[in-house]
Structure 1
Amino acid sequence: MTGSSGFVLVGGGVASAAAAAGLRDQGYDGRIVLVSDELHLPYERPPLSKEFLSGKFGLGDFQANPEGWYAENDVEVLLGTRVSAVDPGGQRVVLSDGGSLTYDSLVLATGVRARTLTGFEGDRVHSIRAIADSERLGARLAPGTHLAILGAGFIGCEVAAIAAARGVRVTVFEPAPVPLVRALGEEFGTTMVDIHADHGVDIRAGQQVTGMTETARGIELQTRDGEVVECDELLVGIGSIPNAELAVEAGIAVDGTDGGIVTDELGRTSAPHVFAIGDVASRLHPTYGRSVRVEHHDTAMRHGANAARNLLGQSVPFTDEPYFWSDQYDHSLKAVGHAGPTATKVVRGSVEGRSFSVFSLEDGRITAVATLDRPRDLMTTRKLLAVPHQATAAQVADEDFDLKGLLPQRPRVRRTEAPS
């Protein structure tokens, strides 16, 4: 097909869906085409390793916009269709069916894909990035089976929790001495290992799997120390890779470190009339003075809403702080903010009691917090991140100190009585 100009959104996640909704909310009545290589309408991805995998959610429970919204709002959706090339000079995209679309502005929201390992392939090997992946793994999680997981990151740990609740034996291999150290710190890593152990999950930190062999009965994993571990199914959860190939092939700048498509604070790429948002975007953040690429649902959704305003010429920089959450068993892990490499870490609460927060302080200012079952710390920090404040490590660590006292105080208005 060949279409007239308008806005073309590439990607089937919440970033594209939020951009489409934002454009209509802002009053734009021109053509919007959303192109996705998946067969499902845009949906949220966190439930793939949580509620959808557990069976609590059906397909209709985590769509980014209601099913009828696209038709009601005159948004064309091309499912099962891939953009095979971008022509910035001609303001045109080429489609996998041989057709093309011209655009006034193009939004690349192509997301990321699961990182794979050479030699780890086969019918019993899984990753989770799409609905079909979660459906396929969920069908294999029968009570009594043995699931091995490579990587104790968030997806690995979330799947481990769901599988254990279904009566599956779970072994998680993590090369690092303590899981989640890079993302959250040692306190969280050691605590999560203990929590999983309480539910029968064996997290083998410091152990690396070097090879696998698929047998008639299942899979044999070989570890670096020479052990052979048998399992029925294997999940590879070792991170992700940005889907930036379209940008590379079109000559659009890509970050050499994180692999994301480089944008300014408005989401604009190095090519005129081309934006990038969501997990694939390495975006200049005005608060940090540097580019950051965030792979979180909340940021992708907010990127989409922000992109709608910038597509319409409002020039609104994206300054929101990264936020994410992970539910494992009856525990809620949440974090907000972005800590630099020189940040001082301060613990508030009880690590032993599994109710604590780890704050990041830089130059006397709180820049991030990660919390375990402490929603108040998170809510207060979200407010602090948006305003000037000064804090000491002693204040943050002291639970008797009310963190709300760090917020700027509004001047009191003295009431005077009117003369009688």
Structure 2
Amino acid sequence: MKRIVIVGVSAAGLTAAETLRRRGWDGHLTLIGDEPHPPYDRPPLSKQILTGDWPAERAVLRSPQDLARLEADLHLGQPATALDVAGRRVHLGGGESIGFDGLIIATGVVPRRLPGSDLAGVHVLRTLDDALALRAALLTGPRVVVVGAGFLGTEVAAAARTMGLEVTVVEPEPVPVRRPFGERIGALVADLHRAHGTRLRCGIPARRLRSAGGRVTGVELGDGTALPADLVVLALGATPATGWLTGSGLRLADGVVCDACCRAAPGIYAAGDVASWPNPHFGTRIRLEHRMNATEQAIAAAGNLLGDATPFAPVPYFWTDQYDTKIQAYGVFPPDADLRVISGDPSNGRFTAAYGHQGVVVGVLGWNAPRELRTLRRLVVERARWTAVTDAGPCPPPTVDRWWQSTRPRTLGVHS
């Protein structure tokens, strides 16, 4: 294999390139990225970059000297537009095409939008330029409405409130972050935001944006009410960036469909947010939009491209920072999983919890408890029986059930 092309130069693409060189592969390496910037980290965009705690250059992942040591051709600001699998070529927007023997796809995701969202004052947050534009707009002191209360939406809301702005979050689910963590943890996240002055409109969807003179003026909700806004952030989730692969012959279904070794086709692998693969550890096909997975999967994909043929079976790790709270988690979190507090007390703002599904511990979560959580990770790694948690003796008060019963009337309302 003399020529390898990596499409995507964020964390996954960069890590794949470094892995190839570290493994001793010395062939011709090409990196293709649709943004003009050198590789940078995305998690700080909704936190330190948005609040101004970090300058933009601090998010850059590698120095120019580090990139030079890769001895790679960098095509920045040149998006890939098509893939010819049979001809082994990647076509770029400027008309150029680049041949390959091996290919790693690491193009990530693109944000979802509402119809008619091409208005002044409407923002999404995916790229460094998005973050800088949003920060500049926040500095004008607008009334902010965030549509979507997943990780990104709640982090943006927290950053805006930290800047002293008036913030309302709209979410069709009954509580924030319900999909990743369920209603009980979502209830705590709701309380956290209310305690910091964020208004929540949960349990009701955003219907459309209102505007005047080409600028957003508010968000109309499903019940007909309207929230005035000078600035709207759309945090509606994202879709895999696979448009350029249409017609390539690769199987596309919620991402690039791969086998357990991250292989999409002979000599073609995928890594990071764009990759869908069967995780042997959990026995299910997954696609993860987590920073650590981008790094780990890129290492695995690069190694398998070089001949390792090792199934990729990680225990996912992810986190979110909001105000003075850090929520960290290992594993997966099915919507019908059981939940039990292991240590600490949710009412005191520090605890750990385990999630059980089909009799096995599938996930663990820590709320301001990083040290304890690292110890609990082994429950997921070892696929511990759920009885190892439930038979471990009484949890510190309040128990999960009592805590949930006591908070439920406050957290499932439409708004606060």
Note whether the superposition's TM-score is higher than 0.5: yes
Matched, 1:302 2:296: yes
Displacement of 1:221 in angstroms is 2.1
- Decide which of 227, 230, 250 is 1:229's aligned counterpart: 227
**Equivalent residue for 2:365?**
370
Identity %: 35
Q: 1:340 Cα deviation (Å)? A: 4.1
TM-score of the aligned structures, taking structure 1 as reference length: 0.89
Distance 1:73 1:211, change over 3 A: closer
Residue 417 of structure 1: aligned partner: none
Bigger mean CA offset, 352-361 vs 146-155: 352-361
Match of 1:285 in 2: 279
Q: Does residue 1:332 correspond to 2:330, yes or no?
A: no
Matching of residues 39-58 of structure 1 within 5 Å: 39-58=36-55
Q: What residue in structure 2 maps to residue 82 of structure 1?
A: 79
The alpha carbon displacement at 1:357 in A equals 2.9
> d(CA) in 1 for partners of 2:114 and 2:297?
31
Paired with 2:57 and 2:73, the residues of 1 have a C-alpha distance of: 19
Q: Distance in 2 between matches of 1:190 and 1:342?
A: 16
What 5-or-longer segments of structure 1 have no aligned partner? 401-420
Distance 1:145 1:340 in 2: 37
Deviations 1:35-72 (A, max 9, x none): 00101012111111011111122232222333321212
Deviation at 1:198, TM superposition (A): 1.5
Query: Are 1:13 and 1:44, in contact at CA under 8 Å, matched by a contact in 2?
Result: yes
* Distance (Å, rounded) in 2 between the aligned partners of 1:175 and 1:387: 36
1:252 matched to 2:247 = no
Q: Is the 8 A contact 1:143 1:166 kept in 2?
A: no
Counterpart in 2 of 1:240?
238
Q: What's the counterpart of residue 112 of structure 1? A: 109
Distance in 1 of aligned mates of 2:216 and 2:137:
12
TM-score by length of 2: 0.89
- Contact 2:327–2:368, Cα closer than 8 Å, also in 1: yes
Deviation at 1:182, TM superposition (A): 1.9
| Counterpart among 171, 184, 188 of residue 185 in structure 2 | 188
User: Is 1:345 the counterpart of 2:365 in the alignment?
Assistant: no
Unaligned ranges ≥5, structure 2: 397-416
SS in structure 2 of the partner of residue 229 of structure 1: strand
Q: Is the 8 A contact 1:5 1:102 kept in 2?
A: no
Paired residues, number: 393
In structure 1, which of residues 95, 100, 103 is the aligned counterpart of residue 100 of structure 2? Answer: 103
| Contact in 1 for aligned 2:154/2:176 (Cα 8 Å) | no
Residue 164 of structure 1 aligns to a residue whose secondary structure is helix
Q: Does 1:379 align with 2:374?
A: yes
Q: Return the match for 1:267 from 262, 270, 278.
A: 262
Secondary structure, aligned partner of 2:246: helix
Q: What does 1:4-83 align with in structure 2 at a 5 Å threshold?
A: 5-83=2-80
Alignment of 1:102-181 (within 5 A): 102-142=99-139, 144-181=141-178
CA distance in 2 between counterparts of 1:147 and 1:239 reads: 18
2:311 is matched with 317
Letter in 2 for 1:31: H
- Residues 70 and 77 of structure 1 are in contact (CA less than 8 Å); yes or no, is this contact kept in structure 2? no
Distance in 1 (CA, whole Å) between partners of 2:140 and 2:165 is 5
Cα separation, partners in 2 of 1:248 and 1:381, compared to 1, 3 Å: farther
Q: Using the alignment, how far apart are the partners of 1:295 and 1:190 within structure 2? A: 23
Cα separation, 1, equivalents of 2:167 and 2:317: 29
CA distance in 1, matches of 2:358, 2:134: 46
The one-letter code of the counterpart of 2:55 is G
Conserved? CA contact 2:281–2:314, under 8 Å? no
* Map 1:177-216 → 2, pairs under 5 A: 177-215=174-212
Structure 1 residue 278: Cα displacement: 0.6
Shift in Å at residue 163 of structure 1? Answer: 0.7
Alpha-carbon contact 1:368-1:381 (below 8 Å) kept: no
Deviation string 1:105-158 (CA, Å, 9 cap, x unpaired) is: 011111000001112321110000001111111001136421101011111110
User: Helix, strand or coil: the match of 1:171?
Assistant: strand
* CA positional deviation for 1:399: 4.5
Q: Distance in 2 between matches of 1:115 and 1:43?
A: 22
Q: 1:188 to 1:23 in 2, by over 3 A?
A: same
Which deviates more from structure 2 when the two are superposed, residues 287-296 or residues 146-155?
287-296
**Cα drift, residue 397 of structure 1:** 6.9
For 1:312, the aligned partner's letter is L
Compare 130-139 and 225-234 and name the one that shifted more. 225-234
Residues 214-269 of structure 1 deviation map (CA, whole Å, 9 limit, x = unaligned): 236851222222222211100010110111123332010112xxx11110111100
Structure 1 CA distance for aligned equivalents of residues 263 and 172 of structure 2: 37
